[in-house]
Amino acid sequence: MILQVAESRESGGSRSYAISLYEEVARVHGKLIIPHIPRVTSSLIRSLSGSGSSPQLQQACAKVAAALAQHSIDATTSPAEAENIIHEICDPLADALAGTPKKIPPKTPYSS
């Protein structure tokens, strides 16, 4: 599912809907999403950097970033691991907003 959404070429409202599926995946799978965070964030960046990203798409991406953090960090997560997860979510997005995106991970399936 993550691979299908990441490679989706939808635009506008359809893309917002596709991106919002990541939010549901994070909720359902919880900590199992952790190895896939780089792929999800790179998909968010590609979506946001596409021409004409709408406020609806921006809102969907923000909700996904929050869901990734909310559902991948729980009471059993060590402070160091939680910090690493937050960095994996926020650093690529902050770099993209600053105009200095780092290398986006390839579109191959992410393995852990």
Q: Which two tokens stand for residue 52?
A: 């004409």
Kindly tell me the sign of the dihedral angle through the C-alpha atoms of 82, 85, 89, 92: positive
Say whether pLDDT at 4 is over 60. no
Report pLDDT digits (tens) over 20-60: 899 999 999 999 999 999 999 999 998 888 756 688 888 99
Report the pLDDT averaged over residues 55-74: 93
* pTM, to two decimals: 0.74
Determine the Cα–Cα distance for residues 96 and 7; give it in Å rounded to an integer. 19
Highest mean pLDDT among 9-13, 41-45, 67-71: 67-71
Say whether pLDDT at 106 is over 60. no
Q: What ranges do the domains of the chain cover?
A: 2-98
